[in-house]
Amino acid sequence: MFKASQKSHLYTELAELPLPTSASFDSSDVINVSFSRKIHDRDAKRTISKTFFVTPSQIVTSDFRQEASDVQASAVSPSGARKAILRQTTDEKPKRFVEIWAGDLLEVSKEVTSTHGAFCVEGELLHFDYRRGLGIGSDDYDLEALHSLSFSPSEDTLLYSAEANDSATNEAAGKDIDQYERFRYTPTLGEGFSGKKRPTLYVLRWPSSGSTRVAKESITLTPLTISSKQNTVLIAQAVLADQNRVFATGYEYMQSGRLLGIKGCYNRPAAVWELHLPGAATDETQELTVISRLSPENRSARSPHLSPDGLSLIWLSHPLGGAHSACTTLHRMDIRSGEQNTVVDTVMQPQESNGFPGLYEPNLPSKTFISLGKGTYIATSSYWRSRTTVLLISVDGGEVKDLTPLDSGMFSWTILSTDSKNRIVCARSSPAVPHEVLLGHIGDDLSVSWQVLFTPRLSPEIQKQLATLEASIIPVPDHSPAEVLLVRTKSSPASTPCICMPHGGPHATHVTTFSAASAAFALAGYNCSLVNYTGSLGFGEKYIKKLIGQCGTLDVQECISSVDHLIDQGISERGHGKQFVFGGSHGGFLSAHLIGQYPDTFTAACIRNPVISGGEISTTDIPDWYFFEFGLPYDSKTIMTPEIYSTLFAASPISHVDKVKAKVLLHLGLVDQRVAPTNAIGYYNALKGRGKAVEMLAFPKDSHPLDGVETSRICWESARDWFDLAKE
């Protein structure tokens, strides 16, 4: 029986380091930065914040403070004079409030508990299982796909998103509607959205004074519905251009009635729309007027943002269908004329070996604009090969400047906010350096001067251990642009066991950011080989398209080639206890393929929520993935046929199960909506029935990312223990 070893390790301490998630300029010289922090003793995550007072001569820092746990989201008004807060109490029966603060004055407070369900709030911005890192304990940040929180320019109107009440559970509504309506099927938004089905816009209006509390009877809250002609569209990511003009993202149902999961998938039926608010200030439900669809039918569009001067609307788009993520196109529309142009187009292949590979970002930062003497720019983060970097993009000309190019520190950078003028707040880290926060001042010549605002406080032991780590990027010969991000200790000999770590997706990327999991593995005596195979983001659209139809062959070949190359380079060795594999989701698909196709190479595997049989799509929220990624068409009429199942079975790890020799540890989230849990369960039964060494840990409350605090720790410790035992 597999039992916990109780060996000491540094994972817990590393995982509890604060992660910067967002920032705001509360005034010209006051910056507030929010952090997420894990507390293992309580099996909890907490949001904490730090305030920085920045003057030309010094930076004064406040102590960490724990943010009120009932604050769901907040936004600062265009002038900076007001702040909107969406609040939900932590009581057994929570109450919800919308508040408008004018400095220290609570100008507006409106209880909305009975009006709608949970707020659709923005998730954390740095750590996303499907696109970044290892996925151990990563935080979900795709909730911004539904998030709206926008002031009008006059600052007396607020637009926000929340889940509409479900008539099946709303007693008041249930008395007045047809009994069948209470049980009519409505699909959810899938993995990562906690059963959300009806994201809805609400508009709060009040007579603004800024000096006195507004009387409750003067406040109106209007639920907004879409025109009956467009009732297959869910409206989110809304921004107010003026008192009545709204730009928003609309997610569309398929003709079959299916609502495809949107987390990590940017090829969905979705568009940017122009809408008009009803003029009446009332508490009764009103209908939005649809003015026009701004994006074309063949593009999946999202993330509309209005420039501070109100003259430009920008948004992002991907091709509709095909790869679940790809190179992004940046669009602009002149608000006055309606004329549109492409600011940054798809890059098929970089012009130089390390040239600009295109834009790869699912959603723009909430504060993304920069205004300089030369014009208006967008600051955003994007993949650039095996890094994330901060880009400055000219709205007028489309020129792209890398503000944080690769240096000897191998840092990856992520933007947290701008002041809409010439300053940006960014987070950076590397495989050996935990997350820091920096303030950048951008000159008219587009150069940046940086000030460090925050570095985490490390214990002497952690400082000593992290100083022993090193990282390098190693190309995989004959498989350009595939490369390995190698994390190990500086004194690591060739005899050190090596863990091959393919990422999930498959269209994701391992980047040179700090990961508690990979750092702890390296400090526990393992080399970590994080493989960016063909199809990874940040290398050009050509290579994303190249993987389509070759999942299970090209990606597997490049993973085993990376293993062979590290052996040839004297970085690792063959033999018992020398090679291991570790991956989740599509990375689990590859891990299971590797131990099946190359049974004599790997001693053990740790596989999390894997795709084991491509034909097993029973409960997935993204059935199209199983068709598009394997080169098959998909539309509203598509069903699983014997011929399609045969094709997918042959491309799947289950077809190689008889050859597996490695000891296999499976991690399973029992409420996974992305990959049907029957994949892992079926693989466990198939291996056990064949007399193979296999164990499975199942987590009842965890979904696809397996990112609960305790779950993340158990996943890491059990993988370490499993590999240690297999070496013996």
Which pLDDT belongs to residue 416?
95
Q: Contact, 402 vs 389, CB < 8 A?
A: yes
> DSSP string of 157-206?
EEEEEEEPPPTTT-HHHHTTS-TTGGG-------TTSTT---EEEEEEE-
In terms of Cα–Cα distance, which of 576, 563, 556, 578 is closest to 653? 556
The gap between the terminal CA atoms of the chain, to the nearest Å, is: 16
Which pLDDT belongs to residue 230?
59
In terms of Cα–Cα distance, which of 159, 70, 169, 74 is closest to 114? 169
The H or E element that residue 378 is part of is: strand 375-383
Query: In this structure, what token pair is assigned to residue 165?
Result: 């009440």
Q: 467-727 has which CATH code?
A: 3.40.50.1820
Neighbouring residues of 378: CB distance < 8 A, sequence distance ≥ 6: 314, 330, 343, 364, 368, 369, 370, 392, 393, 395
Q: How many CB atoms lie within 10 A of CB 291?
A: 13
Q: What is the pLDDT of residues 468-484, one digit of tens each?
A: 999 999 999 999 999 99
Q: What is the pLDDT of residues 107-128, one digit of tens each?
A: 999 999 999 999 998 643 333 3
Query: In this structure, what token pair is assigned to residue 268?
Result: 């969905």
Q: Contact, 510 vs 531, CB < 8 A?
A: yes
Q: Contact, 334 vs 307, CB < 8 A?
A: no
- CA–CA dist 74, 95 (Å, integer): 17
In terms of Cα–Cα distance, which of 454, 514, 424 is closest to 50? 454
The low-confidence residues of the chain, meaning pLDDT below 50, are 123-141
- CA–CA dist 113, 73 (Å, integer): 16
From the number of C-beta atoms within 10 Å of its C-beta (0-12, 13-18, 19+), residue 479 rates as middle
The full set of domain ranges for the chain reads 77-293, 467-727
H-only helix segments in 550-708: 554-568, 586-597, 625-628, 642-650, 678-689
